[in-house]
Amino acid sequence: MSSTAPARHADHVAHVRAATDRALAAAGFDHLLIASGRQKYQFLDDRPYDFAANPHFKWWVPLGAHPDCWIRYTPGEKPVLAYHQPADYWHLPPSDPEGEWVESFDVRVIRDPAEARKVFPANLARAAILGEADAALGDAVPNSPEPILHRLHLARTRKSAWEIERMRAASRRAARAHRAAAGAFRAHASEHAIHLAYCEAAGQGERELPYGNIVGLNEHAAVLHYQHQDRDPPAEHRSLLIDAGASVDGYAADITRTFGNGDPEFTALLDGVNRVQMALADAARPGVDFRELHLDAHRGLAGVLADLGLVRMSPEAIVETRLSSAFFPHGLGHFLGLQVHDVGGFLADESGATIPKPEGHPFLRCTRTLEAGNVVTIEPGIYFIDLLLDGVRAGPHAGAIDWRRIEHLARFGGVRIEDDVHVTDGAPENLTRDAFRALA
């Protein structure tokens, strides 16, 4: 799996340059300009929003908190980085450029954002400029050509060795924090206190995490993207679902774990989902259609529902009648990398053509056939969501449901287990399970 010698950032830049050379040649451009992005401010206020760098900029350099920087790349030439380091006594300016990555760039320090225009080619007619509209500098207006983006997005789905090392490190950081969150749950902490315990153990504040932590106690675990954190602990701690990650050099970990209070029925549900999840993660191999893997998740979870007697049907019938979607309404997973829901999940090829989702599964985020170098999340779940269960109650299959046991388990919200899996030429590398094993 992992090499004993650390991957070099220079090799990663060579990987990015090769992909960019192919994209520029195919799309008929001579230059690539990439804006890191502008700092944005709240309406009628001078308070800034959290800055999020252009992911294409971060693909080249591990600088996620640096607005007003630019990369200029012309095939055959050393990439130029316009590094914005303002003279500022209101805020701490960025430190001098340092680290292994600096060797691969011609770094030009600029004091004013407008100075970046000096490193651009004089004629921009054949320049692809990637960035948001507000990054424009005079005549350098982002055009973000789709023929370029499609090719680069496809290339970004195949991670370099350096990127995989960053994601291993992010998984280790997140696993440590998940262990702290589990301890806070067992100590009967509030959702907010569990979140704080997570951040402390991860060594990252809310602005540094790749996404807002989902910390759901009891029934809140049934809200797929639960967005609040109660400050007061509940009277009883029955369950915790925590979906939380970490970042290293702009690369994300995305991990979900569910914990219970020892209730036998909920423990059996947890064990069942865990068995299905591990089998799916092991099946993430080259040549596997992710759509079929998603349908396998429905088949496996339907087996759990049948085995536990929650639905009195065969697993095949549970899937055929789409009852499984009432308990597992989201997709199996997505690409992961510089973005939590990383790009390229639907691309059929470099033309930008897309691969459709299976009928009846609108929330699946990846329809690709897996390749070595991909990193995907595998996150099956079983939930007890009132909105969806009300539809089952009113439908033709209500008599097949053990509503008494459903009512009992609904007090726990649900179960989701999510691992980050690196697809290799052989057996998959489960970045998440490896990170937890390293802690043990």
Average pLDDT (370-374) is 98
Confidence bin at 125 (pLDDT 50/70/90): very high
- Residues 75 and 126: their CA atoms lie apart, in Å, by 13
- C-alpha distance from residue 75 to each of 22, 29, 35, 71, 136 (Å): 10, 10, 18, 13, 23
Closest CA to 160 of 35, 29, 310, 10: 10
pLDDT at position 65: 95
Angle between helix 191-202 and helix 161-186 axes, rounded to 10 deg = 140
Beta bridge partners of 206: none
Whether residue 183 is predicted with pLDDT greater than 70 in this model: the reply is: yes
Percent of the residues in the chain that have a pLDDT greater than 70, as a whole number: 99
Please list, in sequence order, all residues whose beta carbon lies within 8 angstroms of the beta carbon of residue 92, skipping any fewer than 6 positions away: none
Average pLDDT (207-230) is 98
* pLDDT tens-digit map of 254-274: 999 999 999 999 999 999 999
Q: Which amino acid is at 91?
A: H
Average pLDDT (88-109) is 95
Average pLDDT, the chain: 97
Whether residue 2 is predicted with pLDDT greater than 60 in this model: the reply is: no
Domains of the chain in start order, with CATH, are 9-156 (3.40.350.10), 161-439 (3.90.230.10)
Average pLDDT (197-219) is 98
pTM greater than the 0.75 cutoff: yes
Confidence bin at 5 (pLDDT 50/70/90): confident
- Residues 416 and 297: their CA atoms lie apart, in Å, by 12
* pLDDT tens-digit map of 152-171: 999 999 999 999 999 999 99
pLDDT at position 1: 45
Tokens found for residue 119 = 């490193």
* pLDDT tens-digit map of 52-69: 999 999 999 999 999 999
Please list, in sequence order, all residues whose beta carbon lies within 8 angstroms of the beta carbon of residue 196, skipping any fewer than 6 positions away: none
pLDDT at position 120: 97
CA angle at residue 281 from 278 to 285, to 5 degrees? Answer: 145
* pLDDT tens-digit map of 393-419: 999 999 999 999 999 999 999 999 999
